[in-house]
């Protein structure tokens, strides 16, 4: 049993050393874990010494595996409650991969199945995208679990959970010292079962409790509507399979509804946590046209480039476009926003995006060890915009910012990638240290709760309150010249008086 598990651990360590984007220490150097290394266990329970013909790096690696194997045996023999070897191996892999960066991880059978389900559009739970933040002093694999974004049309979104919320309890159990995967498992369960989620929210004097009913989560990746008679609004909630095709279908339906007289397109990527790279590349191609570099992925030894095809066509015909982002827009959302901004195809509006500029590759362990159904997820590359700038820890800076009229402050509070524990540094050199894009103007609508009655239904949220960020985008598309040149914009819809300020 130990011999089999040790061989698997060595192989996983080799994958992490060879493929990881970050390489702290000798263990993760390209030569430190050769695939030819064989480790055996003697009858006494100790690992046999390495052959004398090994290189110094191989000897060092083998010695570390010897220490690990003996500690594992000692724990199994001496612990008051004998742990299963398989669980000990899973815990070891979680610690090893979690130490690489904030996104690398070991995925057990259940987590791997759930990950696959999330990208095909259906999985069970309450509909939350979450991340874990570690602070100095936290035990490995623990820390505050924070909401990145609630998924549209799910129990969490309907109940009012928000990006930035910290989950403190699930039912009556504190989760502040639990691992992310344990918290996710507590949130998930059989459809129609109930779960109580307690969160800490910035600005709220007391913890907030939400009683949720679990359901099968169908990712409604695209929702759309016509605002007035001339503005197409399309929201993308997650970059799942077919996201680009669904956006195109929604656009053409709105175009037909408007009798071909659209004045602009709003692509809403707020609180979109990302998803599949291919979907991001396909969506960008649909607006950029042929032969445009969309994003490059740079690993240790190679660079891959995603480029729009030679026959790609902007099916909007170059229609004026606003892309909305905020601190919950991450990964694939930032690839699209960054590419459209670099080519000046769209105006980016909102607040700074999350800054997740890394690529995770999932390796099914069943490919290397027949019968296994678990996997490992390793950060293998970093994303770079067409301009050559890395997104990592920096994100996308909007061309036009947003001030919440109720809070009188810019945007909403979000935790960024740069603030996560164990995050990878931004690799931009000195010549690219400063973002050339500046938020030169800020939209701050007049706040008047009594003015909602005359507003276009297309700019109202489900609870009937105005979505002022959408309204800013509408005013920009309809009156760009005045919006960019005047500090006071004449409102075209009752209840809105957008103002621009230069910081």
Question: In a 3-state reduction of DSSP, which class is residue 200?
Answer: strand
Residue 489 pLDDT greater than 50, yes or no: no
For the domain spanning 222-437, the CATH number is: 3.90.226.10
Phi/psi-derived region of residue 158, left when phi > 0, alpha when psi is between -120 and 50, beta in every other case: alpha
Mean residue pLDDT across the chain: 79
Rg for the chain, CA atoms, rounded: 25
**Strand 358-364 to strand 375-384: parallel, antiparallel, or no bridges (unpaired)?**
antiparallel
- Per residue in 30-43, pLDDT (tens digit) is 223 333 333 333 34
In the chain, domain spans: 2-100, 122-218, 222-437
**Strand 303-307 to strand 321-325: parallel, antiparallel, or no bridges (unpaired)?**
unpaired
Q: Tell me if 127 sits within 8 A of 154, measured CB to CB.
A: yes
- In this structure, of 185-189, 209-213, 492-496, the range with the lowest mean pLDDT score is 492-496
The DSSP annotation for 161-195 comes to --TTPEEEEETTEE-TTS-HHHHHHHH--STT-EE
Q: Tell me if 197 sits within 8 A of 105, measured CB to CB.
A: no
pTM comes to: 0.70
Residue 502 pLDDT greater than 60, yes or no: no
Name the more confident of 265 and 163. Answer: 265
Name the more confident of 426 and 357. Answer: 357
Question: How far apart, in whole angstroms, are the C-alpha atoms of residue 311 and residue 258?
Answer: 27
Question: How far apart, in whole angstroms, are the C-alpha atoms of residue 346 and residue 323?
Answer: 6
Question: Confidence class of residue 262 from pLDDT cuts 50, 70 and 90?
Answer: very high
Comparing CA positions, the residue from 357, 443, 438, 481 lying closest to residue 103 is: 357
122-218 belongs to CATH 2.30.42.10: yes
- Per residue in 406-443, pLDDT (tens digit) is 544 444 445 688 877 778 888 876 555 566 676 767 77
- Per residue in 390-400, pLDDT (tens digit) is 999 889 999 99
pLDDT the model gives residue 119: 61
Which sequence positions are flagged as catalytic? 331, 342, 356
Q: What is the mean predicted confidence (pLDDT) over 268-277?
A: 91
Residue 206 pLDDT greater than 80, yes or no: yes
Q: What percent of the chain has pLDDT over 90?
A: 43
pLDDT the model gives residue 275: 87
Residue 28 pLDDT greater than 50, yes or no: no
The DSSP annotation for 251-289 comes to HHHHHHHTTT---EEEEE-TT---B-HHHHHHHHHHHH-
- Per residue in 129-155, pLDDT (tens digit) is 888 876 555 554 557 898 877 887 899
**Strand 166-170 to strand 144-150: parallel, antiparallel, or no bridges (unpaired)?**
antiparallel
């Amino acid at each position: 049993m130990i011999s089999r598990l040790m061989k698997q651990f060595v192989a996983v360590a080799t994958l992490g050393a060879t493929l990881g984007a970050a390489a702290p220490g000798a263990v993760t150097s390209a030569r430190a874990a050769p695939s030819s290394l064989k480790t055996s266990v003697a009858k006494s329970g100790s690992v046999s010494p390495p052959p004398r013909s090994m290189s110094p790096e191989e000897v060092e690696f083998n010695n570390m595996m010897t220490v690990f194997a003996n500690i594992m045996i000692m724990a199994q023999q001496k612990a008051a409650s004998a742990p299963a070897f398989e669980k000990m191996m899973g815990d070891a892999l979680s610690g090893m991969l979690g130490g690489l960066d904030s996104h690398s991880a070991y995925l057990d059978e259940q987590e791997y199945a759930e990950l696959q389900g999330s990208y095909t559009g259906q999985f069970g739970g309450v509909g939350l995208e979450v991340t874990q933040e570690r602070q100095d002093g936290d035990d490995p694999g623990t820390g505050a679990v924070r909401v990145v974004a609630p998924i549209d049309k799910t129990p969490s979104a309907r109940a009012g959970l928000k990006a930035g919320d910290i989950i403190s309890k699930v039912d009556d159990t504190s989760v502040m010292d639990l691992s992310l995967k344990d918290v996710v498992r507590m949130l998930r369960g059989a459809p129609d079962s109930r779960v109580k989620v307690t969160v800490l929210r910035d600005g709220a004097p007391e913890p907030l409790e939400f009683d949720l009913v679990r359901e099968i989560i169908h990712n409604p990746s695209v929702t759309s509507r016509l605002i007035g008679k001339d503005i197409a609004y399309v929201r993308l909630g997650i970059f799942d399979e077919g996201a680009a095709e669904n956006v195109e279908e929604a656009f053409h339906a709105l175009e037909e509804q408007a009798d071909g007289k659209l004045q602009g397109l709003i692509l809403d990527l707020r609180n979109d946590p990302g998803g599949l790279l291919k979907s991001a590349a396909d969506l960008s191609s649909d607006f950029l046209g042929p032969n445009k570099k969309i994003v490059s992925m740079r690993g240790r030894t190679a660079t891959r480039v995603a480029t729009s095809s030679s026959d790609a066509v902007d099916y909007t015909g170059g229609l004026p476009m606003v892309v909305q982002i905020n601190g919950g827009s991450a990964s694939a959302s930032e690839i699209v926003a960054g590419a459209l901004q670099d080519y000046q195809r769209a105006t980016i509006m909102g607040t700074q995006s999350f800054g997740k500029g890394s690529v995770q590759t999932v390796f099914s362990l069943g490919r290397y060890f027949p019968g296994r159904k678990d996997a490992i997820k390793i950060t293998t590359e970093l994303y770079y915009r067409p301009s050559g700038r890395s997104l990592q820890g920096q994100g996308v800076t909007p061309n036009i910012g947003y001030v919440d009229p109720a809070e009188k402050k810019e945007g909403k509070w979000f935790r960024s990638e740069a603030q996560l524990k164990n995050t990878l540094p931004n690799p931009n050199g000195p010549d690219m240290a400063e973002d050339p894009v500046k938020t030169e103007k800020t939209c701050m609508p007049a706040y008047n709760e009594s003015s909602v009655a005359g507003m276009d239904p297309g700019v109202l949220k489900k609870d009937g309150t105005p979505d002022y960020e959408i309204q800013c985008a509408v005013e920009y598309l309809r009156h760009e010249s005045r919006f960019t040149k005047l500090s006071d914009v004449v409102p075209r819809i009752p209840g809105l008086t957008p103002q621009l300020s230069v910081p």
